[in-house]
Amino acid sequence: MAPPLLALADIRLRLGTQPLLDGAELAVGRGERLALVGRNGSGKSTLLKIAAGLVESDGGTRFLQPGATLRYLPQEPDFSGHATVLSYVEAGLGPGDDHYQAARYVEELSLEPEADPANLSGGEARRAALARVLAPAPDILLLDEPTNHLDLPTIEWLESELAQGRTALVLISHDRRFLGRLARATVWLDRGITRRAEVGFDKFEAWRDSVYEQEEREAHKLDRRIAAEEHWVRYGVTGRRKRNMRRMGELASMRDARRTARRATGQAAMAASEADGSGKLVIEAVGIGKSFGERAIVSDLSLRIHRGDRLGIIGPNGAGKTTLLNLLTGALAPDTGTVRLGANLEMATLEQRRDSLDPEATLAETLTGGGSDTVSVGGVPRHVVSYMGDFLFPPEMARTPLRVLSGGERARLMLALALAKPSNLLVLDEPTNDLDLDTLDVLEEMLGEYKGTVILISHDRDFLDRIVDAVLAPEGQGRWLAYAGGYSDMLAQRGADLAAAREPPRERPADKARPAATPPAPPREGRRRLSFSEKHALETLPKAIAALEAKLATLQAKLADPDLYARDRAAFDTFSAAAAQAQAELAAAEDRWLELEMLRDELAS
């Protein structure tokens, strides 16, 4: 068996008086793809930083094969010292690496090479950081939440890029589908130690549950042994007269083992505070439109949302998802059309941006509003420490300032604030960002039991498939269409991915300030290449075309029934309209595929 490229053994690290890592191990072989999973605060990011050589452990060893190259993607990249995006990406190259690869990934990820990194949005910053670690094609890639702030087309492009490469991967991610498609083995960090399962992430949760069950059986056996020994000490004749020191020592050891045994940390106990029911009609939008300058964000959209509906809004970054959400909830007035909110509406909102929180305020002050030790949850006062426990915050964190919280802890705090307010309409903008998988499970269960209406924005495909019953997707030029079902259902109906809906990049302030007489910089390549969205469309369109052909064949078979028109005129009209739409979508998909194939041949020649 070949030695690993990277190996961590018996890694130990304490934070204050508490052990964060207590004998953790990690071994990465050539070409391996590992998912590193565990709850928020379990030490996943810290272990990855130790693996990258950025943090020193208190004990244990780190080994990296001589000559092996390693790159680490942090959650929050540092752009200091770099004047342009391209210079930041090129700084990740090694001595023998090709600088063309840096320019290629900058273009693939739709970045402006001469842009100032300090002015990048969250999604652009994440794409720049990805370009920096992908360009060198290292032997090992350590990726900490690589899909955060990415839109769906970019996530699917990244999946394809990583799947095709030979680089060994260690992935931390809350995106189940991303992990399921890439990971071939799973390393579980739990209570300071690691366990490795040679199964993909899709089978990990069943394996983890079996480990918990075995722990419970062992704890039960230990409890029974302790009870038996205590009975002997109290009532056994030998125990009373001779006090057998060996058995007394064994009892003390068992009690100590029971007391110090690692216990699984608690599970979040989220519950939305529900207000009285809203009216049957929650939101009605009629012909609404919104533009910024010459760019149409929403154009002539009509939509009805009824009580109990669960609507997901998806689309590439910059498509206008948050703007549309604000239009539907009345936070932003449309340029044209009307939005009517239903009766008895009580809205609770989870915003994507967390910079509205005071970083110097403590956790307890943020939840209570200050000046009290209780928080109003659905109009009922609860002690702040008790409510914190529902979201996995221990009592000692009550006076912790927000600036030291991790991304996952800030995400749980935002959920705690939103769910304390009585509501019959939940509006969630990227609720899954930074949440661990266990907390995601609890959030999904809570939303499943919530009796009100839910509108959410998310790039998490698995989360969308589990939660929503309709999806609103952009079609370009400000047009939005509603599809029944989740994200996978939308793809089947739409027959194409979301890359085609990506809007052209907006003009940057730096571009406006540039003198008109200054000619544009010449392209770094002598000829045009396919963009990553065009490549992605070339890969996915054949499957979409096949799905549309199968759908059309099914509809045509139903219409071939000679008695259908006389027997069920409504069904005949429905099938006819569906067949016409499928035919139009098929023709459009075939035309797009042919256009891209011709373009690829032209560029290749």
The answer on 358 and 237 residing in a single domain is no
Is the pLDDT confidence value at 258 over 60? Answer: no
Instruction: Give domain status of residue 326, yes or no.
Output: yes
Confidence of residue 47 (pLDDT cuts 50, 70, 90): very high
| CA 106 to chain CA centroid, nearest Å | 23
Angle formed at CA 531 by CA 292 and CA 471, multiple of 5 degrees: 55
Rounded Cα distance between 520 and 264, Å, is: 59
Percent of the chain residues topping a pLDDT of 70: 82
The answer on 242 and 95 residing in a single domain is no
The answer on 119 and 149 residing in a single domain is yes
Rounded Cα distance between 129 and 120, Å, is: 11
Confidence of residue 111 (pLDDT cuts 50, 70, 90): very high
Which of 229, 260, 291 is at the close of a domain? 260
The answer on 420 and 390 residing in a single domain is yes
Q: Is there a contact between 480 and 298 (Cβ–Cβ < 8 Å)?
A: yes
Q: Residue-wise over 102-122: b if at least 16 C-beta within 10 A, else e?
A: bbbbbbbbbbbbbbebeebee
Which of 204, 230, 249 is at the close of a domain? 204
Of 412, 431, 413, the closest CA to residue 366 belongs to: 413
The answer on 37 and 165 residing in a single domain is yes
Instruction: Give domain status of residue 1, yes or no.
Output: no
Q: Is the pTM of this model over 0.85?
A: no
Return the minimum-mean-pLDDT range out of 101-115, 177-191, 246-260.
246-260
Longest CA span, the chain: 104
Number of domains in the chain: 4
pLDDT digits (tens, 9 = 90+) for 185-235: 999 998 889 999 998 888 888 888 887 777 777 766 666 666 665 555 555
The answer on 355 and 492 residing in a single domain is yes
Confidence of residue 242 (pLDDT cuts 50, 70, 90): very low
The answer on 357 and 494 residing in a single domain is yes
Mean pLDDT over 535-539 rounds to 76
> Residue 294 belongs to a domain with what CATH number?
3.40.50.300
Region class of 590: left (phi > 0), else alpha (psi between -120 and 50), else beta:
alpha
Angle formed at CA 346 by CA 343 and CA 352, multiple of 5 degrees: 130
Rounded Cα distance between 342 and 348, Å, is: 15
pLDDT digits (tens, 9 = 90+) for 412-423: 888 888 888 888
The answer on 465 and 348 residing in a single domain is yes
The answer on 220 and 195 residing in a single domain is no
pLDDT digits (tens, 9 = 90+) for 308-321: 999 999 988 888 89
β-partners of residue 350 are 428
The answer on 186 and 50 residing in a single domain is yes
Instruction: Give domain status of residue 508, yes or no.
Output: no
Query: Which two structure tokens, joined as six digits, stand for 23?
Result: 């004998």
The answer on 124 and 92 residing in a single domain is yes
The answer on 564 and 434 residing in a single domain is no
Is the pLDDT confidence value at 162 over 90? Answer: yes
Which of 260, 292, 327 is at the close of a domain? 260
Instruction: Give domain status of residue 270, yes or no.
Output: no
Instruction: Give domain status of residue 569, yes or no.
Output: yes
The parent domain of residue 242 ranges over 216-260
Instruction: Give domain status of residue 22, yes or no.
Output: yes
Instruction: Give domain status of residue 352, yes or no.
Output: yes
Of 456, 452, 446, 445, the closest CA to residue 422 belongs to: 452
Instruction: Give domain status of residue 269, yes or no.
Output: no
Confidence of residue 267 (pLDDT cuts 50, 70, 90): low
Tokens 């990048």, located at residue:
120
Rounded Cα distance between 390 and 420, Å, is: 11
Rounded Cα distance between 323 and 319, Å, is: 9
